[in-house]
Amino acid sequence: MTYKVKKTYELLVIMKGKHCTSMSARRRNNSAVKKGIVLTIGLALFISSCSTSTDLTYTRDIAPIIHENCTPCHRGGGAAPFSLTSFRNVNRKKNTILDVTQSGLMPPWPADRNYTHFIGERYLSTEDKQKIKEWIKGGAPEGDPAHMPKLPAYSEQSYIGTPDTTVWFDSILIQGNSRDKFFIATAPIELATKKYVLAMEFLPNENNLVHHMNGRLLNYETHKKASITDGTRILNMEVDKAEYIKQFEALKLANDDGSRPQQINSAVNYLPGAQAQIYPEGIGGFTMNQKSILIADDIHFGPIPQDKWDRSRVNIFYSKTPPARPINEVMLGTNGASKIIPPLVIPPNEITKHTSFLQIPEDISVLTINPHMHLLGKSFKAYALSPKLDTIRLISIPKWDFRWQYFYTYPTMLKIPAGSVIYVEAEFDNTAKNPNNPYSPPQEIKERYEFGGAGMRTTDEMLQFIITWLPYQNGDEQVSLVVK
């Protein structure tokens, strides 16, 4: 019997022609089968394998692709709104999966991989795309459940290690009126002594609702601020100017004398599916004073039909030693070190082009970049021209998608020599053809100058390019930024 079963399995393997059109070959194989029971099983398998027209099965061929490329977000508690952790989930969504995988919409990676490479690129190989297509078009057979690979283990606590401490923001009520929501949340932090931070990691509890968050750390000198806990902790950004200013003042972020404290930009950032930024030992990190306030600047929640509470937290990873090479940040465009030309005013029914450029006075090593636009963004490109007029490619996003505002880190540090000019070229689409246009009919949209461009409703526009860099040191080009 064991022998016969084995034979049947072999038969099945032989029978596995590409399509049902290879019937004659199957018949030939079939005719070689003599014994009744084997024939019956063989026939049953033959019939079932012919109701689908592919050899590919979910459990053996497709699940490994889904587990590697999709379930990091598409799982319970993941960043995506539904799970793809089982055959049933995937089977139910197969038509949309076919669309989004073939169009390249999923997995989300808007940067052009033919232009530059970054760490953690999400993409399907041509072969995997083809397999998914063939499997779905062939009837999406499940296959032998015994072949189903185990789902990778996903941590709910942290994706990058064991944090030294966790700081909580106040709970935020996200109203269920099906509109985007924007908040500023603050979390005061008091320490016995100042500490060195290696990395911070933001984790929302409604993680498929948070679209992005930019975290800054305000470092106070102890004698300049009596109390860091006096201010309010939440600001709702969807208010008029007067109310915004009132709420902003109530956060009490300034020093007691009204001056601004030291600010660490991009202390922590968040985007669905993007891992917290952590660099190899000795690179990056910053000092956190005894008194500091962490600001989640512009937490963006997507629209929901029913009220929900979000309670987000930040994991902090300390380092014993001061940062050997602390990072610097420079920003082009809105609120940044270079103007936008022409100014960012986008008339209705127009597609406009804008640039911004900045000369770099010293040799720098670029670690991470972040292009930022809102709903009207259409394309984005950044590069540097060296004094010898070599082009140093930074990033190209041919089809902007405001949902995926990644911080892109290069595999090795990227040198930009002194005297180079960094150029940003961006297009905005304020026509009715832009499905993300917040207004119908289109209206003039611009930077919100009254807050220095900082009042970042998605219905205002922005054009920013943030560059995280270090002063160049010999050999930086060979320094890998992959954390092992």
Q: How far is the CB of 470 from ligand HEC (least distance, A)?
A: 28
Task: Please report whether residue 375 would count as binding ligand HEC according to CB under 6 A.
Answer: no
Q: Per CB under 6 A, which of residues 40..99 are in contact with ligand HEC?
A: 69-70, 72-74, 79-81, 93, 96-97
CB of 178 to ligand HEC, least distance (A): 13
Other CB atoms within 10 Å distance of the CB of residue 111 = 22
The reply to whether 125 sits near ligand HEC by the rule CB under 6 A is: no
Positions in 228-257 near ligand HEC (CB under 6 A): none
Q: Which residues contact 150 (CB under 8 A, 6 or more apart)?
A: none
Query: Do 477 and 411 meet the contact criterion of CB atoms below 8 Å apart?
Result: no
Stretch that binds ligand HEC, among 106-114, 366-374, 460-468, 475-483 (CB under 6 A): 106-114
- Supply 37's token pair: 């029971």
**Is residue 186 close enough to count as binding ligand HEC by CB under 6 A?**
no
Q: Which of 56, 106, 174, 346 binds ligand HEC (CB under 6 A)?
A: 106
Q: Please report whether residue 456 would count as binding ligand HEC according to CB under 6 A.
A: no
Give me the helices (H) in 70-112, please: 87-92, 94-103
Residues 293 and 187 sit within 8 Å (Cβ to Cβ): yes
For residue 140, is it left (φ>0), alpha (ψ between -120 and 50) or beta? left
Residue 377 found at the interface with ligand HEC (CB under 6 A): no
Per residue in 33-49, is it b (16+ CB within 10 Å) or e — as a string?
A: beeeebbebbeebbeeb
> Which residues fall within 8 angstroms of residue 111, CB to CB, at 6 or more apart?
118, 121, 395, 396, 397, 406, 408
Rounded to a whole number of angstroms, the minimum distance from the CB of residue 68 to ligand HEC is 9
With CB under 6 A as the contact rule, the residue among 39, 100, 167, 479 that binds ligand HEC is: 100
Considering the complex, state which of residue 97 and residue 228 has its C-beta at the smaller distance from ligand HEC.
Answer: 97
CB of 105 to ligand HEC, least distance (A): 7
Q: Locate 199 and state its tokens.
A: 């990395």
- 174 in the Ramachandran plot: left (φ > 0), alpha (ψ -120 to 50) or beta? beta
Q: In angstroms, what is the minimal distance from the CB of 30 to ligand HEC?
A: 37
Q: Nearest 5°: phi and psi at 96?
A: -70, -35
Residue whose CB is less far from ligand HEC, 219 or 409:
409
Contact residues for 234 (Cβ-Cβ < 8 A; gap 6+): 170, 172, 183, 184, 185, 186
For 9-91, strand residue ranges (E) read none
Judged by beta carbon, residue 129 or residue 415, the one nearer ligand HEC is 129
Residue number with CB closer to ligand HEC (436 or 459)? 436
Minimum separation from the CB atom of position 132 to ligand HEC (A): 8
Residue nearest to ligand HEC (CB): 273
Question: Nearest approach, Cβ of 74 to ligand HEC (angstroms)?
Answer: 5
Nearest-approach distance from CB 310 to ligand HEC, in angstroms: 16
252: left (phi over 0), alpha (psi -120 to 50) or beta: left
CA distance 212 to 370: 12
User: Closest distance between ligand HEC and the C-beta of residue 140, in Å?
Assistant: 13
Shorter beta-carbon distance to ligand HEC: residue 112 or 121: 121
Closest CB to ligand HEC among residues 124, 426: 124
By beta-carbon proximity to ligand HEC, the closer residue of 101 and 437 is 101
Residue 130 CB, shortest distance to ligand HEC, in Å, is 13
Residue 211 or 448: the one with the smaller Cβ distance to ligand HEC is 211
Show the tokens assigned to 67. 């587990």
For ligand HEC, which is the closer residue by CB, 101 or 312? Answer: 101
Shorter beta-carbon distance to ligand HEC: residue 233 or 403: 403
Q: How far is the CB of 308 from ligand HEC (least distance, A)?
A: 15
Please tell me what DSSP assigns to residue 250.
H
Angle at CA of residue 296, ends 305 and 308, nearest 5°: 20
Radius of gyration of the chain (CA): 27
- Per this entry, what is the length of the chain? 484
Please report how close the Cβ of residue 135 comes to ligand HEC at its closest, in angstroms: 12
26, 67, 75, 122: which one binds ligand HEC (CB under 6 A): 122
Per CB under 6 A, the list member of 42, 108, 285, 377 interacting with ligand HEC is 108
> Nearest 5°: phi and psi at 120?
75, 25
Looking at 85, 101, 365, 379, which residue binds ligand HEC (CB under 6 A)? 101
Residue 429: φ, ψ to 5°:
-115, 105
Which stretches of the chain bind ligand HEC, using CB under 6 A? Answer: 69-70, 72-74, 79-81, 93, 96-97, 100-101, 106-108, 122, 124, 272-273, 403
